[in-house]
Amino acid sequence: MDIKYKRILLKLSGESLMGEKQYGIDEKRLNEYAEQIKEIAGLGIEIGIVIGGGNIFRGLSGAAKGFDRVKGDQMGMLATVINSLALSSALDSLGQKAHVFTATNMFPIGEHYSKWKAIDAMKRGEIAIISGGTGNPYFTTDTGSALRGIEIEADVMLKGTRVDGIYTADPEKDKTAVKFDKISYDEIYTRGLKVMDLTATTLCKENRLPIIVFDMDTNGNLKKVLTGENIGTLVY
Ligand code: UDP
């Protein structure tokens, strides 16, 4: 089997962990993700993961309700730690070792992140789940995953979503929307596409980290992306 990438950074949104629920974590969805991740770990791929926190708390929505923005963002970052612990637990119960890192020191909940410790863990065959975003307010986990992807020298950042790629318009709202097989970073700016926030896109562009946006909610898709099947959209 031809495997295209040796080391990847997988970004999962917090919202995708909700499954059919309105809030929090859906155990069924969590286990499906863990199964897919275990499957690709079995191919010998080194895996770093960043998970969002939007299923629990977002600083911006908190600020709209009167929370201090910085405290709200800190709550959001803590939410990513909760999600990361949940995923590591699901992986553990499948017999797949995972190691949770945190952007700020919160030992013993996780190990304080450093690039080298994360790479060591991946080389031992453990999944490095890098939580807590960037550790700073006013950023998103898309930016956190771009940053961690670059730091750990990933070959690609995989953005698992519920949509099967990048479209000319939101396919859930506009039936005439057309999917791209690939698209340049610059075209994302010029077309004003909301793939990721601009800080994340710029970080990837400046450091030449390709991104693949794909539908992670269809079982087996994660493996298909890595074995070079033409699914999702490549940003280059
Ligand atoms: N967040 C932050 N700094 C970071 C990453 C995340 O302040 O570096 C906060 C921010 O409030 C954000 C929340 O954590 O809204 C959850 O992350 P995000 O919205 O990216 O999660 P997702 O949309 O992927 O579920």
Instruction: Give the pLDDT score at 228.
Output: 87
Domain membership flag for residue 200: yes
ipTM: 0.98
Return the number of other C-beta atoms located less than 10 Å from residue 138's C-beta: 12
What does the pLDDT look like over 14-29, one tens digit per residue?
999 999 999 999 999 9
Mean pLDDT for the chain? 96
Taking the model in full, what pTM does it have? 0.96
Domain membership flag for residue 2: no
Domain membership flag for residue 223: yes
Domain membership flag for residue 176: yes
Domain membership flag for residue 94: yes
Domain membership flag for residue 66: yes
User: What is the distance in A from the centroid of ligand 1 to the CA of 144?
Assistant: 9
Q: What percent of the chain has pLDDT over 70?
A: 100
Q: Considering its fold, how many domains does the chain have in total?
A: 1
Ligand 1 atom at shortest distance from the alpha carbon of 16: 25
Residue 2, pLDDT > 90, answer no
The residues lining ligand 1, judged by C-beta closer than 6 Å to any ligand atom, are: 13-15, 52-54, 58-60, 72-73, 76-77, 79-80, 133-134, 136-137, 139-142, 144
Residue 185, pLDDT > 80, answer yes
Mean pLDDT over 56-71 rounds to 95
Instruction: Give the pLDDT score at 4.
Output: 87
Domain membership flag for residue 113: yes
Is residue 138 part of an annotated ligand binding site? yes
- Give the residue numbers spanning the domain of 76: 7-235
201: closest CA among 165, 160, 159? 159
Is residue 23 part of an annotated ligand binding site? no
Give me the CATH number covering residue 213.
3.40.1160.10
